[in-house]
Amino acid sequence: MDSSLLKHYHHDEFHPKTFLETYFCDENFPLIDELVDYPLKQLHETFSSGPVKGDTLIDISGGPNIYQLLSASDIFKEIIVLEITEPNIQELEKWLKKDPGAADWSYAAKALCDLEGNREDWQVKEDKVRRAIKQVVKWDVSKDNPLDPVVLPHVDCVLSLWVLNVISKDKDAYHINLRKCASLLKIGGHLLLIAVLNMTYYVVNEHRFFTLTFDETFLREALKFAGYIIEYMDVLPSRKGCDMFDFEHIAYVIARKEREV
């Protein structure tokens, strides 16, 4: 499909709750094991094994997702969430306030509690995330300094789920966005990145949205050029069989910031 005909996550009308309910909150979604269970398992193993730790984590992810923070809240005292759009911020705030109209994350919370062997405490797990989130800040992709005028200290960990694929218009922009993530980290801090490989679109409300297409080789090179050392990478092949998107693999990366670029 001609990419010029696709909508863009951060420019066009995008319904965050529909996005969440379509891909992440419905346990009957055919690839929920790839989109939710796989990241949950990887992050659980990362945070429970010890090498990624600290006081503060910054999350910049696709849509007002919170399931990637369920394990993180066990390790980090403070979580700062960066959101791309105002509707995303509003949707996240509904969940933080326990608004009855907020997205239902019980599937993910219960799945993580199963991994931990403590299914009964899933609501406690959600509340721990709510307490850990200290700030929700706009990340304006149109600015050289996306946080302007907010100034944040360098942090121990940046967690990015899905979003860099959809806000980067081309590979040069992806390089720039990886460097912007690195600028948030202390030297020696970690980037936890979940990205889709060889994907061209995804569907929300019957509209097709743009995704930057790249492979594992490009991702490895981009991380190196942005000043990271890859400590771990796992690549999961997709079973496909879904016309809502067309990714071939999901990549999970633990990368340490080695230098300023």
Say what the pLDDT of residue 118 is: 82
pLDDT at residue 136 tops 90 = yes
Q: Are residues 136 and 93 in contact, defined by beta-carbon separation less than 8 angstroms? A: yes
Give 138's pLDDT tier (boundaries 50, 70, 90): very high
pLDDT (tens digit per residue) in 222-250: 999 999 999 999 999 998 768 888 899 99
- pLDDT band with cut points at 50, 70 and 90 for residue 261: confident
User: With bands split at pLDDT 50, 70 and 90, how would you rate the model's confidence at 4?
Assistant: low
pLDDT at 241: 67
- Hey, what domains does the chain have and what are their CATH numbers? 3-257 (3.40.50.150)
Average per-residue pLDDT in the chain? 92
Per-residue pLDDT tens for 76-131?
Answer: 999 999 999 999 999 999 999 999 999 999 999 999 999 998 877 899 999 999 99
Full-model pTM? 0.94
